[in-house]
Structure 1
Amino acid sequence: MSDLDLPPIGLGTSGNDDPAECAETVAAALEAGYRHVDTAQMYDNEEAVGEGIRRAAVDRDEVVVATKVHPDNLAYDDAKRTARESLERLGLESVDLLYVHWPTSAYDPAETLRAMDELRAEGLCDHVGLSNFTPALLDEARDLLDAPVVAHQVECHPLLPQTELREYAVEHGHTLVGYSPLGRGEALEDPLLSEIAEKHDTSTAAVCLAWAFAQEALVPIPKATGDHVRANFAAQDLELDDEDLDRIADYDVRERYIDPDAAAWNR
C-alpha cells in the first residue's frame, strides 16, 4: 500500500490562471480545511499556488502539494530541469507528489521515469504519480519505476466512474485521484443526479462529490473559487444511501468530457 495518505478531498486549480484569484482561492481553501492542493506546469499558476500556500495560516508540513510535468517536458533532461523550475515558482524545496501529466508528446517510458526516480532520490519530490494512463501503461510504468506509484490521476465522476482504474488502484495499493469530479459542470444538469440531489435536499455538485467519497481509493479534487470552495468541502457531510449508489452504478449514461485525440485511450 502507498505510504502517502491523501486527504479525502483536494483542491484542483486547473483553469485558475488569474494570479490574484488563484492565490486567494488556495489560501481560503486551506483555511477552510483542505490539506491537498493540485497544480501543474500546464496550468501556468504554480507561482500563485505557492503564494496562496504561504499566505494561509496553515503549516506547510500539513499540506500535500502536487504538481505535474508538462507532456512537452517529459524528455529526461527537460523533466529534471522543469521540475526544478516548478519548485522555484512554487517557492518550495520539494513537493509531496510529482506526476507525469500525460503519457504523450515527449513521454519516453524509460527516460521519463528514470528522471522521476532521480528527482525523488534527490529529494525534490517525496512521491511519484502518473496521470491519464491506461492499465497497460500503468503496468509498464510500475515495472520501470523504482519508486512506488502512489497516485494515478484521471477524470472521474458518476458519469465516468472509471471502474477498471478504481479496481486497479485498489489492487495495486495507490489512490485514484479524480479530476473534473463534477464533469466540468456538465454532470450538474444530469437528470438522475439532479433527482438524487432533490431527494437529499442538496446540490448536484454535492451528490457528485459524495459519490466519490463513497468509493474505495478515490479522492476527488474539484476546482472551485469563492463560495464553491467551502460548499465542495462541506459535501463530505453528505452520505448517499445504497439505493443512490446502485442507481448510479447501473446508469446507462456515460460521458468523458476531457478527451484529447492524443490521449492514451484513443490510440
Structure 2
Amino acid sequence: MESLTTQGLNVPRLGLGTFKLQGKDCHEAVLSALAMGYRHIDTAEMYANEDAVGDALEDTAVPREQIHLTTKVWWTNLAPDAIRKAFDQSLAKLKTDYVDFYLIHWPAPDMNLASALETLMRIRDDGGARAIGVCNFPIALLKQAIEDINAPIACNQVEYHALLGQSKLLPYMQSKGMPLTAYAPLAQGRLASFPELKAIADKHDATAAQIALAWLLEQDGVMAIPKARSEASQKSNLGALDIKLDQDDRALIAKLPKNQRFVTPAFSPEWDEE
C-alpha cells in the first residue's frame, strides 16, 4: 500500500471510512479490511461506532502500531474542556492508548480556533495523538490555522470526488506539503451513472468506482477513505490502486461537472468558490 508522509507519519493513501457503519456491521467491516491489507481506519465521535472499531482493533491479529487510526471531535465540543472530555471518551471506546490523527470534524461558527488547536497540540504533546488536523476547512480557515496559529496540521479531510473540484484548496495544500483526505470519494454512489466513467471503466476492465478512486489516488498529496461494508466492495476499492489512467481518461473526467457538493449540513462553513 502506497503511503504519504505528513508531520513525520507515513499514512496509507487508501483507507476505510466507517460513516454510517454501526455495531456488528462496523466491527466485521473493520476486521475484514484489516485482514485484506487495509492499514488506515477512519472513524469519529459523531459516527457512534468508535466502540465497534475498538473491538475490531482488539480482535484483529494486526498489531496496533501497524494501523493508522483517525478519529475526530465534533464541532459542538471545541471548547478546550469539551475537547479533552471528548478525546478521553474516544480513547476509551477505541480501547487504545493513542490515535494517529485527531481531527476537528467541522469548524464551528463561534469557535476560538486558536484555543481549540492549542488543546489538540497539548493532546499530541502528551502522546494521545501522533498528529492533529482538521476536516471541512476552506482555504481561509486553513490559512488561519497554519499561517497565523502555526498549528502542525497533518491533513485536511474534505469532500472530494470527480464531481466536486478542489481547484483552489488542493493547490494551496500541496504548496504546504499537506495531504488532502478525500471523503465521499465516490460521490455517495452517484458516479456509476455517468457514461464517461463507464466508458473509461470498460477500457480498463474495471468499475466506475475504481476509476473514480484511481483518479483521486494518482493526484499528488491526495488520500481517500471510501466507506465499504462488504468484503467485495473493500476488495474492489483496493483494485483501484492497480489502475493507470492515461491523458484521454483524465480529459473525459475533466469534462464532468465539478460543482456538485453533496455534504452540506446547516453548520457548513462558507466554501471557497471552485
TM-score by length of 1: 0.95
Structure 2 residue 219 is matched with structure 1 residue 215 = yes
1:22 to 26, 47, 54: 26
Per the alignment, residue 208 of structure 2 pairs with 204
Structure 2 residue 196 is matched with structure 1 residue 192 = yes
Q: Which deviates further from its counterpart, 48-57 or 126-135?
A: 48-57
Q: Which deviates further from its counterpart, 159-168 or 144-153?
A: 144-153
Alignment of 1:41-52 (within 5 A): 41-52=45-56
Per the alignment, residue 177 of structure 2 pairs with 173
Say whether the 8 Å CA contact 1:131–1:153 is kept in structure 2.
yes
Say whether the 8 Å CA contact 1:28–1:56 is kept in structure 2.
no
Say whether the 8 Å CA contact 1:12–1:39 is kept in structure 2.
yes
Note the C-alpha offset of 1:261.
Answer: 3.0
Per the alignment, residue 161 of structure 1 pairs with 165
What is the root-mean-square deviation in Å for CA atoms of aligned residues?
1.6
CA distance in 2, matches of 1:31, 1:145: 40
Structure 2 residue 109 is matched with structure 1 residue 82 = no
Say whether the 8 Å CA contact 1:150–1:173 is kept in structure 2.
no
**1:187 alignment partner AA:** L
CA distance in 1, matches of 2:21, 2:214: 24
1:233 to 234, 238, 241: 238
Note the C-alpha offset of 1:200.
Answer: 1.8
CA offsets, 1:56-113, max 9 Å, x none? 2211111100000011111111001111110000001110000000002563212211
CA distance in 1, matches of 2:233, 2:210: 10
Per the alignment, residue 3 of structure 2 pairs with none
Structure 2 residue 261 is matched with structure 1 residue 261 = no
Distance 1:261 1:251, change over 3 A: same
Note the C-alpha offset of 1:191.
Answer: 2.3
Note the C-alpha offset of 1:166.
Answer: 1.6
Say whether the 8 Å CA contact 2:165–2:258 is kept in structure 1.
no
Distance 1:14 1:106, change over 3 A: farther
CA distance in 1, matches of 2:179, 2:271: 23
1:68 to 69, 72, 75: 72
Say whether the 8 Å CA contact 1:73–1:106 is kept in structure 2.
no
Q: Would you identify which runs of 4 or more consecutive aligned residues in structure 1 move more than 4 Å?
A: 144-147
Query: Structure 1: which 5+ runs fail to align?
Result: none
TM-score by length of 2: 0.92
2:240 aligned counterpart, secondary structure: helix
Distance 1:144 1:91, change over 3 A: farther
**2:68 alignment partner AA:** V
Distance 1:146 1:254, change over 3 A: closer
Structure 2 residue 107 is matched with structure 1 residue 127 = no
Structure 2 residue 118 is matched with structure 1 residue 148 = no
1:163 aligned counterpart, secondary structure: coil
Say whether the 8 Å CA contact 1:72–1:106 is kept in structure 2.
no
Note the C-alpha offset of 1:163.
Answer: 2.2
CA distance in 2, matches of 1:131, 1:174: 13
1:6 to 5, 8, 11: 11
Say whether the 8 Å CA contact 2:181–2:223 is kept in structure 1.
yes
Note the C-alpha offset of 1:211.
Answer: 0.5
CA distance in 1, matches of 2:208, 2:59: 31
Note the C-alpha offset of 1:161.
Answer: 2.9
Note the C-alpha offset of 1:146.
Answer: 5.1
CA offsets, 1:132-173, max 9 Å, x none? 001010011113545411111001111113122221221111
1:151 aligned counterpart, secondary structure: strand
Q: Which deviates further from its counterpart, 140-149 or 201-210?
A: 140-149
- The size of the alignment, in residue pairs, is 266
Note the C-alpha offset of 1:265.
Answer: 2.4
Note the C-alpha offset of 1:55.
Answer: 1.5
Say whether the 8 Å CA contact 1:179–1:222 is kept in structure 2.
yes
Identity rate of aligned residues, in percent? 36
